[in-house]
Structure 1
Amino acid sequence: MAAAAMASAAERAVLEEEFKWLLQEEVHAVLKQLQDILKEASQRFTLPASGSGGAVKQENFVLSTSGTDQVKGVLTLQGDALCQADVNLKMPRNNQLLHFAFREDKQWKLQQIQDARNHVNQAIYLLMNRDVNYQFKTGSEVLKLMDAVMLQLSRARNRLTTPATLTLPEIASSGLTNFKPAGGSILHNPGAMFEFGNQRYEVSHVHKVECVVPWLNDALVFFTVSLQLCQQLKDKISVFSSYWNYRPY
């Protein structure tokens, strides 16, 4: 019995030293790695300027839709603003070609890009909001920090992967187009009514078009890798709790 107790005490001492090393060394190494990754992600939102005026360079992207050629177009993105868009729509019944474009004096600010940038910057702030010599005292302190960082990264990722859609009244009031809705129907909903050129129209078909924005894809990869690092650190800290009946952190 005495030998077993001594072995248990020795094992406990070893585990406590390992846990102390984890808090003092490995946690800081992971935090530094996270900072480097998220700074790279943040730089993806800082786009190159064009010309001496310092304006953000415009990028053109081809819109595509799977399984049909009824919708074709090109949009122009300037930072977090959609500044131009040209869309050709082929009517399903008579193959009539309709052309739509943004007004030249209007831009559509993409709030989801602004929000994602703000969330990643907040995550960086959380990681750097400590002196370089700061020492974590408990595992729960690290878990709390990881949860806060992961919350910001999850929000950033969700804002890019699940963009918001606008209702017909919102689009009409934005001034981007020259049509007005009838009633409060939701955009993308068959049966929605709107007016254009003093004529009344009903939405009969819905087509979803997409384009790939490479620098946003890069940011999503950085978010995913960072979330994995946070979870791995949380898992390592949580493993130690299985060796004690009480929570030593």
Structure 2
Amino acid sequence: MKSKHHKIAMYEPLYYGRAHHIMPHEDILGREIKAVMSQLCGLLSSSISMFTSAPSSYQLQPYDRDSIGCGIKGNVVLQEDTLCSMDLTVKPAKTSSLIRSIFREDKQWKLQQIQDAINHLKIGFNMISMFEDTSNCDVDEYSKTFVIDILNNLLRCVNLSRKRLFSPCKLTLEALVSSGIVKIFSPPLPGDNIVNFYILEDCLVITHYTVQQNHAHLTKSSPTLHLEQLFHPVGSVLEHSGSLYEIATAHRSFCLIPWLSKVVSATDICLQLGNQLKEKLTLS
């Protein structure tokens, strides 16, 4: 098993040597340091525990309010970083037939964003735990350098965690076609369907596209060809098996994940507390 020190090596090194200007625990700033560090430890601990959730069902809501009479409906079951099941009903256009499909019983989908987010928070928690262990020992003094280094690395972990939730990977349509997502549905989705899932802040977002081949005006000079985006609007162009296609319909749906909302709020408070303490230490 990797040690805490090994994990910290991924970030900036921590310095344990005492500086020339030492702050005793008994002074006001010293007590504030311990209090803030304890708060940060509690916030990270509670955030990590929120990722260990029981399976919960969420109803999909339309992302685009102007899609009256068509779009995505259904519900999903999410446990931690795993989409356990999905019941999807799509009406691509007002004149289209309904498409209804569910996850195959032997298939689930891992949301790497959530796994990455919790991993960064665990690394941050290990760092803050090291400070807690040090401050509880028979050590009466610690240096500003030591505290600031811990804060810098902790803030980096929290920012990386939030970045995974706030900034999903942008993919080309070609990447979505080859992702294999459509293969986990039963009955199989029609061949002209493309589906994607991603986390955006505290929501799970589902995108659905239908494509059509159009020889009249599509060229490889299209500015949307191979373009990496979260959402590809109608008219976007993709290349598949040597042929060009365009997006005929594009819809989004989402569901709010309450425990992710709590994680976002807790990590926001972590950033505020950490930056405020870091500023005080820098100016003291």
Question: Are 1:43 and 2:49 matched, yes or no?
Answer: yes
Deviations 1:102-144 (A, max 9, x none): 3332211000110111011111101112422345543233222
- 1:116 aligns to what? 117
Matched, 1:145 2:140: no
Q: In structure 2, do the counterparts of structure 1 residues 28 and 149 end up closer, same or farther at CA, with 3 Å as the change threshold?
A: same
Q: 1:158 aligns with which of 159, 163, 188?
A: 163
1:25 aligns with 2:42: no
Mapping of residues 155-194 of structure 1, within 5 Å: 155-178=160-183, 179=191, 188-189=231-232, 190-193=235-238
Structure with higher helix content: 1
Secondary structure of 1:210's match?
A: strand
209-218 or 176-185: bigger deviation: 176-185
Cα deviations by residue, 1:211-236 (Å, 9 ceiling, x for unpaired): 10001111111101111110110121
Partner of 1:52: none
Instruction: Return the structure number with greater relative CO, CA threshold 8 A, min gap 6.
Output: 2
Which one-letter code corresponds to 2:268 in the other structure? T
* Cα separation, 1, equivalents of 2:170 and 2:76: 17
Name the residue aligned to 1:236: 280
Q: CA deviation at 1:24?
A: 3.4
CA distance in 2, matches of 1:202, 1:208: 17
Q: Is the 8 A contact 2:172 2:227 kept in 1?
A: yes
Matched-pair contact (CA < 8 Å) for 2:24–2:140: no
Seen in structure 2, the aligned counterparts of structure 1 residues 135 and 222 have a Cα distance that, compared at 3 Å, is farther
CA separation of 1:169 and 1:100: change in aligned 2, threshold 3 A = farther
Q: How far is the alpha carbon of 1:192 from its aligned partner?
A: 3.9
Q: Distance in 2 between matches of 1:238 and 1:82?
A: 44
Q: Is the 8 A contact 2:92 2:251 kept in 1?
A: no
Q: CA 1:22 to 1:237, structure 2 compared with 1: closer, same or farther past 3 Å?
A: farther
Larger Rg: 1
Return closer, same or farther for 1:91/1:128 CA change in 2, 3 Å cut-off.
closer
**SS at structure 2 position matched to 1:207:** strand
Aligned to 1:84: 85
Q: Residues 91 and 37 of structure 1: is their aligned pair in 2 closer, same or farther, counting only changes over 3 Å?
A: closer
Aligned mates of 2:270, 2:236 — CA distance in 1? 43
What amino acid is aligned across from residue 152 of structure 2 in structure 1? D
TM-score (norm 1): 0.72
Equivalenced residues, count: 212
- 1:60 matched residue in structure 2: 57
Distance 1:152 1:121 in 2: 9
CA contact (8 A) 1:24 1:135 kept: no
CA contact (8 A) 1:23 1:137 kept: no
Query: Measured at CA, do residues 97 and 20 of structure 1 come closer, stay the same or move farther in structure 2, by a change above 3 Å?
Result: same
Distance 1:230 1:136 in 2: 20
Query: Which residue identity lines up with residue 182 of structure 2 in the other structure?
Result: T
Secondary structure, aligned partner of 2:249: coil
| Conserved 8 A contact 1:103-1:176 | no
Shift, 1:33, TM fit: 1.3
Listed as ranges, the gaps of 5+ residues in structure 1 are 1-15, 49-57, 241-249
1:86 & 1:192 partners in 2: Cα distance?
28
Please tell me whether residue 129 in structure 1 is matched to residue 130 in structure 2. yes
Greater fraction of residues in strand: 2
* CA drift at 1:161: 2.1
* 2-structure distance, mates of 1:171, 1:105: 21
Q: 1:185 to 1:210 in 2, by over 3 A?
A: same
Identity within the alignment, %: 29
Which amino acid in structure 1 is aligned with residue 47 of structure 2?
Answer: A
